[in-house]
Amino acid sequence: MTERGFGGRRIRLVQGDITRCPADAIVNAANSSLAGGGGVDGAIHDAGGPSIMEELDRIRGQGCPTGSAVMTGAGDLPAKHVIHAVGPRWRGGGKGEEQLLASAYLSSLRLAEKAGAAVVTFPSISTGIYGYPVEKAAPVALGAVSEFLKAEAKAVREAQFVLFDRFTFAAYEAALGAL
């Protein structure tokens, strides 16, 4: 575990399974159709149970464009809310991916703030099947979250990144050290 403070708030990095980490809000790396999928999305739906998808079915018609997020209950997860954030697919870095990735994190934090969440748990959005290189995504994610914590956070006191493997953890640890 590694952590760093930002304006009386903190970012914490943990290697593990996001579905087992208690938080007020767990962020899901979702797709824009909110239809469920593999990776983090599949794990969250499996662990949280059918109530999450039932809520998504009711809001799916509104859609969720890349860079935005929606919120549901957390079902059987150790949280109150799941925030479904849609990150960008990697297309070489010249198609606005950095701004869209930062927006996915900021949209998530703004929903968490509105819900009064003190602890928000994130995966590494877009670095799985969407192909965003982890070493490029980590500074974007941590930069967006640290700026939010310093400038906008009232309810949110901790952003925890729960990273599944050692490689991803190491990339985020290096990026946190460089902030």
Burial 139-168 (b: 16+ CB within 10 A, else e): bbbbbbbbbbbeeebeebebbbbbbbeeeb
Question: Quick check: 111 and 118 in contact, CB under 8 A?
Answer: no
User: SS3 of 107, please?
Assistant: helix
DSSP 8-class letter at 94 = -
Has 24 been annotated as catalytic?
no
Q: In sequence order, what are the residues at sequence separation of 6 or more whose Cβ sits closer than 8 angstroms to the Cβ of residue 100?
A: 66, 67, 87, 88
Residue of 24, 41, 57, 76 marked catalytic = 41
By annotation, the residues acting in catalysis are 41
